[in-house]
Amino acid sequence: MAGLRVAVVANRKHSVKVEAGAPPDALAEYDAEETVQGIQEALRARGHEPFFLEADETFIDTVRETRPDICFNIAEGLRGDARESHIPAVLEMLAIPYTGSKVLTHAISLDKAMTKRIWRDVGLPTAPFQRFCRADAPLDARLSFPLFVKPSREGSGMGINARSIVHDEAELRAQVDWVIRTYRQPALVETYLPGREFTVGLVGNTRPPDAPRRSEFYDERGFHVFPVLEIDSQRGAVKGIYNTQAKSYALDDPLAPGYLCPADIPTGLEAELRRLAIAAFEALDGLDVGRVDFRMGADGAPYLVEINTLPGINPLVSDLVIVSRAGGVAYETLVNEILNLACERYGLRWNVGTLERSNV
Ligand SMILES: Nc1ncnc2c1ncn2[C@@H]1O[C@H](COP(=O)(O)OP(=O)(O)O)[C@@H](O)[C@H]1O
Ligand SMILES: [Mg+2]
């Protein structure tokens, strides 16, 4: 076999119908056509045969008809409280391999409160929090203002605005009420983290103790962690928070926040962020690729904010692609490493030597 028949599975922005009463940022999570094209080009360049499948209700039929060797999954899912796990669930049922994390991991990581419970359980640093299903629930006495309010199951900065930082009960109640009504899901309330913001992207999988090291590209533990990216929200149009609007500007737009990669930080902090990113990923049984967001607390220590087990992979603007490029890893390599990691897990091989790859 020359290469693999790889179905790129995504929800493209223009194909998603916005439901009545949906918030104005309802489409923010979905993918641009250029992302689907970029992934296909990267796969084609390494000898694979990519094709596209829309991750909508037709998917169960189209994937059975086309029977790909593997799916390159970036589908955000259309609805429900675990939408990112729908495509993986269908593929598990049909026994078709796919890239990235599995059903349970995506279902949990989409839910920031559930994720934080697991991190807290394994002793990783994450800000104290409370999940509000109704706006008048009593506030946990262990939480103190200022607090930060966000939807528990969104991404791409959705539902985050200047009123997300709340200073008293009245502001808290108003914002929690708005989040619950607008996004139709619980609100996550957590200690406001006033410090610098970082994100850490990685590819890899935990190396079983008896397995040989994959290649020089991966460390002893089985991961390649990209350089730390600092997002400086003191710059740009949206001050202090990294929301949908802030994420929408081109990198060189003066309205965009500052993107600094590698971040100018002491080596001790860099090592700590890298260690925590891997630990956060492993705690959720993440696979192949992920991106972990951090903010520094008032005590000067880093805290885990959230994990993206389906990080954006837009060839131009996504944080994962920015950090990969800053680390000298081209888009084509990033995409193919994700594919190769999944193939290795499934024991899928194509022509000899493909897994002994060059990485830049
Ligand atoms: N506890 C917090 N304290 C301060 N800022 C926060 C906090 N949680 C989130 N933010 C801000 O909101 C942004 C989006 O929150 P995040 O949890 O990463 O959600 P998303 O999935 O939308 O990226 C973060 O990048 C950060 O700027
Ligand atoms: Mg985030």
290 Cα: distance to centroid of ligand 1 (angstroms): 17
Between 3.30.450.80, 3.90.1150.10, 3.40.50.300, 3.30.470.20, what CATH number should domain 197-346 receive? 3.30.470.20
57 Cα: distance to centroid of ligand 1 (angstroms): 31
Q: Which pLDDT score is estimated for 345?
A: 95
Confirm or reject: Cβ of 319 under 6 Å from ligand 1: no
The CA-to-CA distance between both ends of the chain, in Å, stands at: 24
pLDDT in tens, 244-265: 888 888 888 889 899 999 999 9
Domain boundaries 128-191, corresponding CATH code: 3.30.1490
The more confident residue out of 66 and 358 is 66
- pTM for this entry: 0.94
Q: Which pLDDT score is estimated for 350?
A: 72
Residue 183, pLDDT > 50, answer: yes
The more confident residue out of 237 and 5 is 5
> What mean pLDDT, rounded, does the chain reach?
93
Q: Which pLDDT score is estimated for 153?
A: 93
pLDDT in tens, 70-129: 999 999 999 989 999 999 999 999 999 999 999 999 999 999 999 999 999 999 999 999
pLDDT in tens, 217-246: 999 999 999 999 999 988 888 888 888 888
Average pLDDT over residues 295-319: 96
Q: Are 269 and 258 in contact (CB under 8 A)?
A: no
Confidence band (pLDDT; 50, 70, 90) for 359? very low
Q: Which pLDDT score is estimated for 355?
A: 43
The fraction of the chain above a pLDDT of 70, given in percent, is: 97
The answer regarding whether domain 5-99 maps to CATH 3.90.870.10 reads no
Least confident of 20-34, 79-93, 139-153, 249-263: 20-34
Write the burial class of residue 142 (CB in 10 Å: 0-12 exposed, 13-18 middle, 19+ buried): exposed
Q: How far apart are CA 159 and CA 97, in angstroms?
A: 34
Average pLDDT over residues 42-66: 97
Greatest Cα pair distance in the chain = 64
22 Cα: distance to centroid of ligand 2 (angstroms): 21
Q: Which two structure tokens, joined as six digits, stand for 300?
A: 């000067």
Residue spans per domain, the chain: 5-99, 128-191, 197-346
Confirm or reject: Cβ of 155 under 6 Å from ligand 1: yes
Q: How far apart are CA 63 and CA 47, in angstroms?
A: 21
160 CA: nearest ligand 1 atom? 12
Residue 348, pLDDT > 90, answer: yes
Q: Which pLDDT score is estimated for 1?
A: 54
Radius of gyration of the chain (CA): 20
Give the phi and the psi of residue 258 in degrees, each rounded to 5.
Answer: -75, 135
Instruction: Decide if 5-99 and 128-191 have a common fold.
Output: no
Q: How far apart are CA 190 and CA 6, in angstroms?
A: 41
